[in-house]
Chains A and B, each alone.
Chain A
Amino acid sequence: MYPADCKYAKNHEFVKPLGDGTALVGISQYAQEALGDVVFVQLPEVGASFAAGDEFGTVESVKTVSECYMPTAGEVLEVNSELEAHPEFVNEDPYTKGWMVKIKLTGALNPELLDAAAYEAHVASEAH
């Protein structure tokens, strides 16, 4: 549910480093479940730079609209344009088909990010 090759923000975004100074960013399995069926994803422009914690996009589901925050600093290299026609990819497979932006990492990964085990514990503590 929470792949080990990703790091997680407490706000439920993930970052998946690709080993070449770039990384994929999206929302976690827990986040997509909490949102419900995603119907629209708004993503930033390629080239935009974000600090950790900056809002980079919004996800609209049948019940709510939610902001997405950058888990770590980076510059947007690519956005997942497939999501425009297939927002359901975020629900079906948030880590691979449903990634949102590909970034060039600025500096080291945000040290406050959690690994899969710590994130799972965080999710358990947040659930009702």
Chain B
Amino acid sequence: MKKRLLFVLSFVLIFSMFLTACQPEEVEEVVEEVVEEVVEEPEVEEPEVEEPEEEPVAAGPDLDPADVAASLPREETLYIAGLQWSAVVGWNPYSSANNNAMGVAAGSNARVPIFETPYMYNMINGEQIPLLADGDWEWNEDMTEATFKIKEVAKWSDGTPVTAEDVAYTWATHVKYETTAGVGYGEYIETVEAVDPLTVVVKAKLDEEGKAVNPLLVRAYISSEYVVQKAWTETLEARAGGDATAFKEDPAMDFVSSGPYTKFYDDDQKVVFIRDDNYWGQDASMFGSLPVPKYLAHTIYADNNAGFLALKAGEVDVSQQFNANVQDLWLVDNLPISTWMDDAPYGLTASLPTAYFNLESYGLDNIAVRKAIAYAVDYDTIIANAMTNQSPTFDQVPRSVMNPTAGEQALYDQAAVADLQWVGNDIEGAKAILDEAGIVDTDGDGWRELDGQKLSYNAVCPNGWSDWQAAMEIVAAAGEKIGIEITTLYPEWGVYQTVFVNGDQQEYDIFMVWSDGAGPTQPWGRVRQLMYSKFAETQGNWNGNWGGYINPRIDEIITEIPATTDQARLVELYTEATEIYLTDIPSFTLMYRPDQFYTVNESVWTNYPSADDGRNIPPMNLLDGYSIAGLYELELVNP
């Protein structure tokens, strides 16, 4: 008996050891994969190059990940956190489904370490700074065509020059395969043409009067969308055989790009990019040098907390996570960690998380009810608790449709709307508004009625979005203080986002949605998002005006702004929009929030961009738009 038991036990032990041994086996597999990947690369990066002016230089890593051996040199690697939350799927610049947050993310502040846009957007001042483009772009007289030149020194990773034809072909491909960019900009851009090898003309779609449908979107396109190599695009097309789905599904492991970094290694736990030491941007006409870190790495953490612990441990250099009470990291823990600013609000806030009133809910079509709720909410507490003071208060930046950046604040006349800009926590004022409107508690149950019906609402946001949930609790508390019953409701995000996007939904009364941050179409885009009537009538509406607000005047303003170049007129229009917004209160801003959170650890790298350092580099992970300039400024703490 004993022998038999011993036999079973030893069998089990040996079996478990065998299984544990699976790990190194898998490791081998991974390494093999990597090696294969790297070996593959040169072979695909020999597209039929048109007029090769130079010997094509092999792109990508000249180093094998296996040679770097077990570890990336700490002093050559910049670790980023908060962007990538699961494994990278692809590298296809025509696809929006790469799940490649550190590498491929076109948009208002397009991420440019791998693929590049003609211009980089700088959210601090709204400027578009030439990247692939040479000098500023120009409108023609009618504002229907935008023209820019491509830098002569701009090269692809295979050594061939970037040409105007590449820019034109990229757009044609977006349209042909109905990519997100093609569909999204299709209403505003007619064609992109190469006039000569270096000159690009973007022609706007015209309305019946022969004016550009929306010049702002043309302006946005040239700093938001990547330029992709024509020759490589043709390779991709050939592989997809003309099928649009196959074209967009292709993971594009063989991509050719123009940026300073390229892929090096990725698995379920991390993504690593390596610097392309032949990067054209080291030319004196661009950055004048290579970016300092040789590697950019992003560990994939399970959640915010894991990323936070890693930041504290010095395993993360740049964190794009919301870290509650961020100041404790240097004040209490004495860590060499800092943010954009040393004092609250610590970051550069650019977006306006907003609570929408569902105007179809009983009583919320009544301005007195909306106004009373908005006046009663204690925003200071929201900012102190939910945001741990990482937002300016509404005393510091009075509410409007603008974000707190100086560029946007200058676009409206604050004095003209000062009377309308409530600060909040005004319980008595809110009660007076309701009393005056005859909305009182008639049956003595403690809750007010409108025409005999009790006012009762839910305040909704997705479950697990803790700062938003804290904000909704404070909205509910405000309701109780003024005699309006507000209960909180936190559905899962998957459910939430299928309900609030439907214009006729009856389930959510007061619900939170983010707002547009900074970008070349702002603050116009935000005004449109907050109030444009057209959105109110649509199902599956991801664009805005989720409460269903209708106002023909605001629609006129939204139509007029994009074509307006006169600064004084613009200020007039934005001031009027603000006035309408603060008078009708179809929704109300709860706090300000950065586009990207920005906390940096200076145990290995230093000289990060910060406010008032005079460099004007925006705090966006050192990857987005002009913030990539920060990568050229980094210095080692111990050189």
A binds B: no
A residues whose Cβ falls under 8 Å from a Cβ of B: none
